[in-house]
Amino acid sequence: MALLEIDSLTVRFGGLVAVDNFSMRVEKGEIHSLIGPNGAGKTTVFNAITRVVKIHSGTIVLDGVELTHVAPHRVVSYGVARTFQNVVVFKYLTVLENFYVGYHHRIVGGLLKDLIPTKRRLIENYDMYREALKLADFLGLKSRLLSYAGSIPYFHQKLVEIGRALMAKPKLLLLDEPAAGLNEAETKQLVNIVRRIREEMGITVLLIEHDMRVVMDISDVVTVMDFGKKISEGKPEEVRKDPKVISAYLGEINSA
């Protein structure tokens, strides 16, 4: 059964059609990549799923629940968490606090309740702490927990962002260019972590990535976009040989 179903999605900015009648399905437990040349509309698809851009037409359904009209800050409680193209961590919070931010939507009640140390609150806090610890361990950030997120190496900041997203216990994790700016050793570690997120946590992963070695290595299914439309989909080795994909990236061999 499909976890995420996007059906004939269209997003416009003024006269520009960024995503044009685009449909795709992400199956439960998959690692699925969304690729395409610059300006193809990949990030816009992410933004539509997380509802930060206006959807012109089409529907987005997650696990049987329609997300199309959900408010952006509520999307996470429906089970979608994401990371950004340029790392967005809270620089002046510690790694641990960054993780807590990710847990935010799972806490019941508002500020007032937060101030009164009821038993339930204490248990929640303890759960939150334990969860953060577990994730830090999982991501190899244990020694960094009390450092400010802005002060740690770039790769670790990326992991903090992933960790924060995982704190929300999502069904679907969206990663926007996780390997950008990483060196080879770090890229390998990242690939490994993404695999383990699927295997050990059972979380479905949808990622945008430019580094094709990562895409081809990690994905079960690859969807290719160009000019806002889906041009190809399939296993990595199929997509790689698809003439449509080759000409989207390298141009028409017979033109000019």
Partner 1 sequence: MFLNRLILGLSTGSFYSLAAMGIVLIFKVTGLMNFAYGNMAMFMAYVTYTFVSLGLGAWSALVLTLLVSMLFGYAVERFTLRPLRKLSHGSMLIVTFGILMILEGLATQIWGTQYKSLPELIAGRPLIFRGDFGIVVFRRQDLLLFAVLVTVSFLVFLLYRFTKVGIAMRAVSENEKAAQLMGIDPNKVISWCWMVGTAIGTMVAVLGAPRTYVSPTMMIYYQIQGFTAAVLGGFDSLLGALCGGLVLGVIENLIGGYISNELKTTLSLAIIVGILLVRPQGLFGSEEIRRV
Partner 2 sequence: MLELKNVTVSYGPVVAVKNVSLKVEKSSITTILGANGSGKTSLLHAIVGLNKIVSGEILFEGERIDKFEAHEIVRRGLILCPDNRMVFQKMTVLENLQAGAYLRRDDLSKDFEFVFTLFPKLKERLKQKAGTLSGGERQMLAIARALMAKPKLLMLDEPSTGLAPNLVTEIMRAIKRINESGVTILLVEQSAYAALKISHYGYVLQTGRLVMEGPSERLIRDSSVVESYLGGR
The closest alpha carbon to 68, from 128, 11, 18, belongs to: 11
The alpha carbons of the chain give a radius of gyration, in whole angstroms, of 19
> Nearest distance from residue 106's CB to partner 1, in Å?
25
By beta-carbon proximity to partner 2, the closer residue of 140 and 251 is: 251
11 or 194, CB closer to partner 1?
Answer: 11
Q: Which is nearer to partner 2, 137 or 252 (CB)?
A: 252
Q: Least distance in Å: CB of 52 to partner 1?
A: 6
Q: Which tokens hold the place of 155? A: 């790769």
The CB-of-80 to partner 1 minimum distance in angstroms stands at: 17
**Residue spans of beta strands (DSSP E) within 135-220:** 172-176, 204-208
Candidates 16, 29, 52, 127: give the one binding partner 1 (CB under 8 A): 52
| Both structure tokens of 197 | 């997120």
Tokens found for residue 238? 């199929």
Q: CA 220, 196, 187: angle at the middle one, nearest 5?
A: 80
To the nearest whole angstrom, how small is the minimum distance from the Cβ of residue 236 to partner 1? 32
Residues 10-29 that bind partner 1 (CB under 8 A): 13-14
Nearest-angstrom CA–CA distance, 26 and 127? 30
What Cα–Cα distance (Å) separates residue 148 from each residue in 52, 91, 156? 28, 6, 11
Out of partner 1, partner 2, none, what residue 238 binds, judged by CB under 5 to 8 A for its kind, is: none
Backbone φ, ψ for residue 252 (5° rounding): -75, 130
Contact 95, 141 (CB under 8 A): yes
Kindly state the smallest distance separating residue 67's Cβ from partner 1, in Å.
Answer: 18
Query: Whose CA is closest to 206, among 69, 8, 50, 77?
Result: 50
Q: Does 88 bind partner 1 (CB under 8 A)?
A: no
Which CB atom, from 76 or from 239, has the smaller least distance to partner 2? 239
Report the residue number, 39 or 68, with the smaller CB distance to partner 2: 39
Which residues of the chain form contacts with partner 2 (CB under 8 A)? 37-39, 153-154, 177, 180-181, 183, 210-213, 215-217, 227, 236, 239-240, 245-246, 249-253, 255-256
**Binding-site ranges for partner 1 (CB under 8 A):** 13-14, 52-53
